[in-house]
Amino acid sequence: MSDTRENNQVPYGRDGSGESKGGPIIPKSPTEALRPEKVPEPPKRSRKAHSQVVIFLNFLMTLVVAVSIVGIAGFYYMINTFHEPGPLQTNTTITVRNGAGLAEIANNLERSDAISNARIFRLMADRYLAAGQTPKPGEYEIKAHTSMKDILALLESGKSILYTVSFPEGLTVKQMFARLASDPVLEGDLPADLPPEGSLRPDTYPYTRGTKREEIVHQMRAAQGKLIEMLWERRDPNLPLKTMEEFVTLASIVEKETGKDDERGHVASVFYNRMKKNMRLQSDPTIIYGLFGGEGKPSDRPIYQSDLQKETPFNTYIIRGLPPHPIANPGRAALEATANPWRTDDLYFVADGTGGHAFAKTLDEHNSNVRRWRKIEAEKAASGGNTDTVVDGQPGGAQAEKPAN
């Protein structure tokens, strides 16, 4: 029997794979060295491990897709909610306090049912507003079903609700202050010291909630001062006036004498004509101011003939020239008429019974006008209608002064 190793020509200590199997290590022959060795196969991964990796990757992909879908859907929901009509059923007002942040504003809007979601409003406002910008403080009217987008635009615009306080021409400073004090929206106290009579501009003043009463007074004084200076510079140079104070004083008398625009220049001319002749002005409103001051005459108190002789610094039936200061706050029309009056020779006027006045150059003409007015008043009284005050009229009547020359 032949040796197996010899017959198969396998060196001792090495099997057919070329690996040592124990025993002496026999070097490879040149032919064996050139022959490529068989690379061992990698270990096989179990089917169970492969399945878990696939499941995990599928889960991640599904999660990413789901999150993306939810994110996109949520974004479009926010956009749609931001632009769609709001839940508000009736108009309401919202106040944004000074220094309020977006969170506070959004919560207030949601509590007022102006918006449906404070978080969406806040997030979208952060996106729409410039860096560091916030809605402006104020009081805003939000109409029913206004969208979040339009509400934000309104708050960003600062177009707060405007209130107004009005002062007709001819009120005194005290009467104007009484209106300011009774205004339910204005805030703060009035100045402790009254401004000079005639220094406040009669007009309508718009303001927003939170405006101080003192601010309105400042506006009124500034407006009147500017107007008076302008008209004083443009006045007729031949007027018998020395100062702006005299100008405003006479304008206040003109203001109280007539409310008709087409008469103011005529009334002013009568007073100037009387001043040039050194005649007393004999104006009934000066009697009233002398008796009642800035409080004004009670509506149920007529002027009696006896009042004409009551001595006060303002009674132009007694004093000559102008009172010591204005008796009211004249408006623009009265100031303009006083700065540039009509050119007439008239010295008298009296009520004509229709809301206007009848003018006259002479005392005889004036007395005739007075008799006509008395007849009209008598007819009104007989028919139960309203009558004017019990004095004859202004300037004059039974007390009318005749020029010296």
Q: What is the domain partition of the chain in residue ranges?
A: 92-157, 229-272+280-342
> What is the value of pTM for the model shown?
0.74
Say what angle helices 332-339 and 244-257 make with each other, to 10 degrees.
Answer: 120
**Please, are residues 109 and 94 in contact by the beta-carbon 8 Å criterion?**
yes
What residues pair up with 204 in beta bridges, in sequence order? 166
Which residue type is seen at 377? E
How many other CB atoms are there within 10 angstroms of residue 2's CB atom? Answer: 6
Other C-beta atoms closer than 10 Å to the C-beta of 333 total 18
Q: Which helix (H) or strand (E) holds 263?
A: helix 261-276
Q: How far apart are CA 290 and CA 307, in angstroms?
A: 10
Q: Which residues of the chain have pLDDT under 70?
A: 1-28, 30-50, 71, 73-75, 131-132, 384-400, 402-405
Q: Residue 148 and residue 145: Cα distance in Å, rounded?
A: 9
Element (H, E) at 204: strand 204-207
Is residue 328 a contact partner of residue 170, using CB atoms and an 8 Å limit? Answer: yes
The answer to whether residues 135 and 176 touch, using CB atoms and an 8 Å cutoff, is: no
**pLDDT for res 24:** 64
Give the CATH fold of the 92-157 domain: Dna Ligase; domain 1 (3.30.1490)
- Confidence (pLDDT) at 37: 67
Q: What's the confidence (pLDDT) of residue 345?
A: 96
The pLDDT of residue 289: 96
Q: What's the rounded Cα separation, in Å, for the pair 178 and 183? A: 9
pLDDT score, position 4: 47
pLDDT tens digits for range 210-259? 899 999 999 999 999 999 999 999 999 999 999 999 999 999 999 999 99
Give the pLDDT score at 393: 46
Instruction: Name the residue type at position 175.
Output: Q
Structure tokens at 301: 């108190």
Q: How much is the pLDDT for 385?
A: 55
- Provide the pLDDT for residue 392: 44
Residue 96, SS3 per DSSP: strand
